[in-house]
Amino acid sequence: MRRKILLFNLFIFSLIFSLEIEVLDTPNDAGNSLTILIKKPAAVDYYEVYRKEEGKEFSLIGKLTKEERSFLDDKVMRGKLYTYQIVGVRDTFKIFSNISSAIAKAQFFNTARINVLVGIIIFSFFILYFIKKARKGERLFIRRISGLDAVEEAVGRATEMGKPILFVPGIGSVADIATIAALNILGEVAKKTAEYETTLLVPNRDVLVYTVAYEVVKEAYSNVGRPDAFKEGNIFYITDSQFAFTAAVDGIMVREKPATNFFLGTFYAESLILAETGAATGAIQIAGTDMVPQLPFFIVACDYTLIGEELYAASAYLSREPLLLGSLKGQDYGKLIILLILLIGSLLLLLSYLPSFSFFSKIIEFFNVS
**Burial (Cβ within 10 Å: 0-12, 13-18, ≥19) of residue 292:** exposed
- Per-residue pLDDT, 94: 87
297 within 8 A of 167, measured Cβ to Cβ: no
Residue 253 pLDDT level (bands cut at 50, 70, 90): very high
| DSSP for 244-296, written as a single string | HHHHHHHHHHHHH--SEEEEES---TTHHHHHHHHHHTT-EEEEEES-GGGHH
Residue 316 pLDDT level (bands cut at 50, 70, 90): confident
- Per-residue pLDDT, 279: 93
User: Is the pLDDT assigned to residue 74 strictly greater than 80?
Assistant: yes
130 within 8 A of 140, measured Cβ to Cβ: yes
- Per-residue pLDDT, 2: 58
Query: Lowest mean pLDDT: which of 119-133, 204-218, 319-333?
Result: 319-333
- Per-residue pLDDT, 367: 58
- Per-residue pLDDT, 369: 47
Intrachain domains 2-103 and 140-320 with the same fold: no
- Per-residue pLDDT, 10: 47
26 Cβ contact list (under 8 Å, min separation 6): 33, 34, 35, 72, 104
Calculate the alpha carbon distances from 368 to 113, 336, 337, 352 in Å.
9, 18, 16, 14
CA angle 331, 293, 169 (to 5 degrees): 65
CA angle 348, 351, 357 (to 5 degrees): 105
- Per-residue pLDDT, 323: 79
Read off the pLDDT of residues 221-237 as tens digits, 9 standing for 90 and up: 999 889 988 998 999 99
User: Is the pLDDT assigned to residue 137 strictly greater than 90?
Assistant: no
Query: Lowest mean pLDDT: which of 44-58, 108-122, 155-169?
Result: 108-122
User: Is the pLDDT assigned to residue 143 strictly greater than 80?
Assistant: no
230 within 8 A of 191, measured Cβ to Cβ: no
Read off the pLDDT of residues 81-109 as tens digits, 9 standing for 90 and up: 999 999 999 888 888 989 999 999 988 88
How many helices (DSSP H) and strands (DSSP E) are in the chain? 11, 14
Q: Minimal CA–CA distance to 184: which of 147, 208, 219, 134?
A: 219
Read off the pLDDT of residues 286-309 as tens digits, 9 standing for 90 and up: 999 988 899 999 999 999 998 877
- Per-residue pLDDT, 156: 86
What count of residues does the chain have? 370
CATH class, range 2-103: mainly beta
Answer yes or no: CATH 1.10.10 is held by domain 140-320: no
Distance of CA 219 to the CA centre of its chain: 30
Long-range contacts of 296-305 (CB under 8 A, 24+ apart): 297/271, 297/272, 298/263, 298/267, 298/271, 300/275, 301/272, 301/275, 301/276, 302/263, 302/275, 302/278, 303/150, 304/146, 304/147, 304/150, 305/147
Cα 8 from Cα 10, distance rounded (Å): 5
User: Is the pLDDT assigned to residue 114 strictly greater than 90?
Assistant: no
Q: Give the CA count within 13 Å in the CB-facing half-sphere of 164.
A: 17
Domain regions of the chain by residue span:
2-103, 111-126+324-367, 140-320
Read off the pLDDT of residues 343-364 as tens digits, 9 standing for 90 and up: 887 887 777 776 666 666 666 6
pTM for the model stands at: 0.66
Q: Minimal CA–CA distance to 263: which of 293, 303, 221, 233?
A: 303
